[in-house]
């Protein structure tokens, strides 16, 4: 039976999709999802009661700019350590930042603690998209995802996978990011009133497993017959992305200062890159230019080599300098950390690379 779902936000005729076809797309996709949903630790399977909003929220924050494969172990560790939002609200920011180390985009971890404390103070998560937007760190996407998946509210959920699927399904040729409004309107036109959370997750799964960035496995796609991108011949050409500007490169030096089996670690300022994280002391990586094969060190310092790391807006080449003599107490605030427990320090990836290089040189 075909259910007639009215189009919203944009007239169906403008999108080239009738109300009947719009409902057919959502029905076909949900039927596919019922049989092909990915088993993920933060999800409830189709037909089961919705998952705890804490698990939905935590996973969605972790999944921003990060792959499902990378998030899985972190999600399991977090939920074992802090099984509910009240437990996370009572955690120290330092412990949360250490547990987050390696996931990147560390402002997410700081907002995680702020949001958990706000939710605990409220007595639980609000259930509407508008109220969820009021929480620290919840943007339009995360609020919509929690409202739809955890609370069964009708919400339009658009992540990178959904963006790609919809751009192909409706043959939206305007380059990103300018096309995002049109993509959202198109997604709205096919989002059903019922099971919008399952629909959103079905779209995510379709983009992750079939309608991928590098391929469009149209013979396996449950909505291929309605896809305008396929009808026009080359769905993989969509979405069109604006050309990326080359990222600038910065250089700097990190310092390995060791004595009596302990290394000197500092805490980075609360605001700015890798804010609030433990790290090796460094020179601020403010230098720009072609970089050097080794850091400019002399005297009591020995160059161990260079590590490279990409941030969102620039690439960094960080030389590692090892103190060659008996280190005195460094100036400023910091702590001596046992070298044999360096993996427990929660160093962000950049400084974990630098520590590994220093240890390799030391050995």
pLDDT of residue 89: 97
Q: What pLDDT digit, counting tens, does each position of 64-111 carry?
A: 988 999 999 999 999 999 999 999 999 998 899 889 988 888 889 989
At 65 the pLDDT is: 86
Tell me which CATH code domain 12-237 carries: 1.10.340.30
> With 60 as the cut, is the pLDDT of residue 161 above it?
yes
**Residue 217 confidence (pLDDT):** 96
In which band, very low, low, confident or very high, does the pLDDT at 19 lie, cut at 50, 70 and 90? low
pLDDT value at position 339? 94
For residue 37, pLDDT over 80 is answered with: yes
Q: For the whole prediction, is pTM greater than 0.85?
A: no
pLDDT tens string 261-291? 999 999 888 777 888 889 999 998 764 444 4
pLDDT top residue among 296 and 242: 242
Task: Supply the pLDDT for residue 313.
Answer: 85
Q: What is the pLDDT of residue 330?
A: 83
Mean pLDDT of all residues belonging to the chain: 88
Give pairs for 93-98: CB < 8 Å, separation 24+. 93/276, 94/276, 97/276, 97/277, 97/346, 98/278, 98/344, 98/345, 98/346
pLDDT of residue 325: 67
Indicate the fold that domain 249-362 takes in CATH. Answer: Nucleoside Triphosphate Pyrophosphohydrolase (3.90.79)
Residue 177 has pLDDT above 70, yes or no: yes
Extents of the domains making up the chain: 12-237, 249-362
Percent of the chain whose predicted confidence (pLDDT) is above 90: 69
Residue 101 to residues 153, 155, 350, Cα–Cα distance (Å): 33, 32, 10
User: Does residue 215 register a pLDDT over 80?
Assistant: yes
pLDDT above 80: residue 204? yes
Catalytic residues: 60
pLDDT at 299: 58
Q: What are phi and psi of 99, to 5 degrees?
A: -70, -25
183 has a pLDDT exceeding 50: yes
């Amino acid at each position: 039976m075909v259910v007639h779902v009215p189009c919203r936000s944009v007239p169906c005729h403008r999108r080239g999709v009738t109300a009947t076809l719009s409902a057919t797309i959502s029905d076909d996709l949900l039927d596919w999802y019922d049989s092909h949903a990915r088993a993920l630790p933060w999800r409830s399977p189709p037909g089961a009661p919705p998952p705890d909003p804490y698990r939905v929220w935590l996973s969605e924050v972790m999944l921003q700019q990060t792959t499902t494969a990378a998030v899985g172990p972190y999600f399991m560790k977090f939920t074992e350590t802090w099984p509910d939002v009240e437990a996370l609200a009572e955690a120290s920011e330092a412990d949360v930042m250490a547990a987050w180390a390696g996931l990147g985009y560390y402002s997410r971890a700081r907002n995680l603690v702020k949001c958990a404390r706000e939710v605990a103070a409220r007595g639980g998560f609000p259930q509407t998209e508008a109220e969820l937007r009021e929480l620290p760190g919840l943007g339009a996407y995360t609020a919509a995802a929690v409202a739809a998946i955890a609370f069964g509210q009708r919400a339009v959920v658009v992540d990178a996978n959904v963006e790609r699927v919809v751009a192909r399904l409706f043959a939206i040729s305007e380059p990103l990011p300018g096309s995002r409004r049109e993509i959202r309107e198109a997604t709205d036109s096919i989002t059903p009133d019922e099971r919008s959370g399952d629909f959103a997750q079905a779209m995510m799964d379709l983009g992750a497993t079939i309608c991928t960035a590098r391929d469009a496995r149209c013979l396996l796609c449950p909505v291929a017959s309605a896809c305008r991108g396929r009808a026009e011949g080359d769905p993989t050409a969509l979405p069109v992305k604006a050309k990326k500007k080359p990222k600038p490169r910065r250089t700097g030096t990190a310092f390995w200062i060791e004595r009596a089996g302990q290394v000197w670690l500092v805490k980075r300022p609360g605001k700015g890159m890798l804010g609030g994280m433990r790290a090796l002391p460094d020179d601020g990586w403010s230098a720009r230019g072609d970089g050097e094969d080794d850091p400019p060190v002399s005297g009591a310092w020995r160059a161990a080599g260079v590590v490279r790391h990409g941030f969102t807006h620039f690439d960094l080449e960080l030389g590692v300098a090892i103190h060659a003599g008996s280190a005195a107490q460094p100036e400023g605030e910091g702590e001596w950390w046992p070298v044999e427990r360096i993996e427990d320090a929660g160093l962000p990836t950049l400084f974990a690379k630098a520590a590994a290089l220093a240890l390799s040189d030391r050995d």
